[in-house]
Amino acid sequence: MRNRGPSAFAVGIAVIVVVIVGTYLGFTKDVPLVNSPYEIKAAFRDTSGINKGSPVRIAGVDVGEVTDVAHTKPGASSATVTFAITDKGRPVYADAAAKIRPRIFLEGNFFVEVAPGTPGAGELDEGETIPVGRTGNPVQFDQVLQALNSDTRNDLRQVFVEVGRAQDAGGAKAFNRSLPYQANAYKFTAIVAEALLGKKPGDLSRFVRSGGVAAQALNEPRRLTELVADFNTTAAAFADEETALRSAVGELPRTLRAATPALDSLNDAFPDVRRFARGARPGIRSLGPTVRATLPLVRQLRGLVQDRELGTLARNLRSATPPLAQVATTGVGVLSQLRALSSCTSNVLVPFGDSKLVDEAFPTKGPVYEDMAKFLPGLAGESRSFDANSQYFKVLGTGGAETFNIGNGLFGSLAEPLVGNNPPPIRERPPLKPEVPCETQEPPDLRSIPKGPPQSVDTNTPAARTRESKAQSAAVAVLRAELKRKGSDVKVLDRAITVSEIRAIASKNGLTKQLDRALKRQGK
C-alpha cells in the first residue's frame, strides 16, 4: 500500500495555530501557565484616579500594573487595588507600603509606588493585602485651595505677624539657646508618645475615649470659663515664683535619682510588710484586752511621774534625751559596720576555721583553727636561740647525691631524691577585691595539689664540671679576699682536700679519734 502523509487540511490548521501562538507571545511577552503573575493587594482610602492598567513602580522603575480596582461600595472613594508585579520587582516583604503618586506635578495620571519593606519581615504571600495604615494618597490642588478659606488665610496671616514679632523680640536667639536641650526633649517626647500607645491592644482607644469624656465635660461654657480663669491665676502664681520654680525644676533630676532606689526598696519591702501585717493580726485583736488590763498600771505610773515623785528624774532625762537621740542617729553607721563584721565572721571566718586542710602526704589532725596555732611552740623555741648580737638560727649545710636546678641560676643538692613539691609555687598573687564585702568573698581553696619534683641535674657532664670549677674558683677568691681583709694567715686551696691532708690537720688539733669515727661511719 502507498503510505499517505497528513492531509492539506491538517497542515493548514497546524500553521494557523502556530501563527496565533507566536502572535500572542510577541504581544504579551508571557507564557501562559508558566509565568503566572505575582499579585498582591493594597487598601486605599481614596483611589485618586487609579484605574485598571495603571503602572506600578518600585524606586521609579515599572515592575507591574494594576489588574483590578474593587471599591468598598458603589460610589465610594475607598477601594482595594490589586496589582501584578513581575520578577524584577520581587521580593516584596510583609512590611511593604504603597502610595498613589501623580505622574506629573500635582495633576495628571497616577501610578502606584511600592516600598518593598525590609528582609527581616519575610516575603509577603501572594494575594495578601497591604493594610490601609501603610498606604497613602496624594494631596490634590483643589484640596489645598479648599483648606485656605478666608478665615484660614486670616489666621495664617496673623501667625506670620506673630512670628515676626517674636523674631524682633529675640525669638531666634532664644531658639538657639534651646538647641542643647532639644535632643533630650525629642527623645523624652518619643518615649512619652510610645508610652501613650499603651501596653496592650485597646489602651490607646480607651485613652481617646476618656479624652472625649473630659472634653465633653469641658464643653459647658461655664466650666471652660472657670478653667481658663483658674489656669490664668495658676500661671500668674508660677510667674511670680519663677526663681523658686526654676530652682525646684533644677532639683528634680537629683530628686528622681534619689527617689527611684528608695521606691524600689520600698516596693521590695511590701511582701515582707504584708506577711508582717498578716502575722500581727492576732496581736492586734488581743491589743484591746491588753490595754484594758494595763490601765491600772498606767494610773499608778502617772502618779509615779508627778513632780513630787519623779519630777527631778524627768528633768534629768529631758536634758539627756537629745544626746541619746544624736547617738541613735550617728550609731546607724557603726551598727551597719558591726552587721557586716558579724556577717563576715559567721559566713566566712567561722566556716573557714571549721574546715580542714586536704593533704594526702601530710594529713591534718584537726580543723584549721587548731592547726593554725601549732607553729607557735616551734617559733617560741627558735626565739630563745639568741646571743648579744641578735636572734639566730643554726643551719647545717651539707652536700648530697642529687643536684637540682632551683631557678635564677641557683642549684641545690640533697642526700635523697625529691618525691614532689607540695604545695606547688604560686606565680601570681590572688586577686584583691576591696570593693567586694567580706561576707560575700569566695572562701579559700584548702585542697593541696602536689606537683612533681624538679628534674635533677647530671653533675657528670662536661658543662656541669666546668660550671662547678668556675663556682669553686669564685668561692676561693672571695674567701681569700675575706681572710686577707681580716689579717688571717689561713690558706685556702683551689682544689679538693685529700684524706691525708685532713688527717694532718686533725692530728695537729688533737682530733684524730673524732676523724676516725667519722670516716668509719662513712665506710672510708
Give the burial class of 97: count Cβ atoms within 10 A of its Cβ; 0-12 exposed, 13-18 middle, 19 or more buried: middle
Mapped onto helix, strand or coil, the DSSP state of residue 396 is coil
Handedness of CA 177, 182, 183, 185 (dihedral sign): positive
Strand, coil or helix: 242 = helix
Report the C-alpha gap between 522 and 504 in whole angstroms: 19
pLDDT band at 10 (very low <50, low <70, confident <90, very high): low
What is the reported pLDDT for 495? Answer: 76
DSSP conformational letter for 491: -
* Spatial contact of 420 and 452, defined as CB atoms under 8 Å apart: yes
Residues 344-368: tens digit of each pLDDT: 888 888 888 888 888 777 778 888 8
* Whole-angstrom distance, CA of residue 96 vs CA of residue 133: 11
The predicted-structure confidence for 193-231, as pLDDT tens digits, reads as follows: 777 777 777 777 777 788 777 777 766 667 767 777 777
Q: Residues of the chain with pLDDT > 70: what percent?
A: 81
Integer Cα distance of 70 and 67 in angstroms: 10
| pLDDT tier at 3, thresholds 50, 70, 90 | very low
Mapped onto helix, strand or coil, the DSSP state of residue 420 is coil
- Per-residue pLDDT tens over the stretch 17-38: 666 766 655 555 555 544 567 8
Query: Can you name the residues that pair with 57 across neighbouring β-strands?
Result: 62, 113
pLDDT digits (tens, 9 = 90+) for 496-507: 778 788 888 888
Nearest to 83 by CA among 143, 41, 26, 131: 41
Contact 49, 109 (CB under 8 A): yes
Q: Measuring CA to CA, how many Å separate 407 from each of 104, 152, 158, 429?
A: 89, 95, 93, 19
The per-residue pLDDT for 26 is: 56
Q: What is the pLDDT of residue 143?
A: 58
> Would you state the pLDDT for residue 14?
67
Pick from 513, 476, 473: nearest CA to 492 = 476
d(CA 44, CA 136): 7
Can you tell me the mean pLDDT for 396-416?
69
Whether pLDDT at 241 is above 70: yes
Can you give the residue ranges of every domain in the chain? 25-146, 396-457
Rounded mean pLDDT, 281-306: 81
CA angle, 68 then 73 then 77, to 5°: 70
- Mean pLDDT calculated for residue range 317-323: 78
User: In this structure, which amino acid lies at residue 207?
Assistant: F
Mean pLDDT, residues 84-94 taken together: 87
User: 24 vs 166, which has greater pLDDT?
Assistant: 166
Q: What would the pLDDT profile of 410-440 be if each residue is shown by its tens digit?
A: 777 776 777 777 777 777 777 778 888 888 8
Three cell numbers, residue 457: 641535674
- pLDDT recorded at residue 311: 67
DSSP letters, 88-156, are: GG---BTT-EEEEEESSSSSS-EEEEEE---GGG-BPPTT-EE-GGGEE-PPPHHHHHHHS-HHHHHHH
pLDDT at 246: 80
pLDDT tens by residue, 109-159: 788 889 888 888 888 888 888 888 888 877 665 555 565 666 777 777 888
Task: Note the pTM of the prediction, 2 decimals.
Answer: 0.28
Closest CA to 39 of 84, 94, 80: 84
Amino acid in position 36: S
Range of lowest pLDDT (29-33, 186-190, 228-232, 239-243)? 29-33
pLDDT tens digits, residue range 367-398?
Answer: 888 888 877 776 666 555 555 555 555 555 55
What integer pLDDT is reported at residue 347 of this predicted model? 87
For residue 46, what are the β-bridge partners? Answer: none
259-271 per-position pLDDT tens digit: 888 888 888 888 8
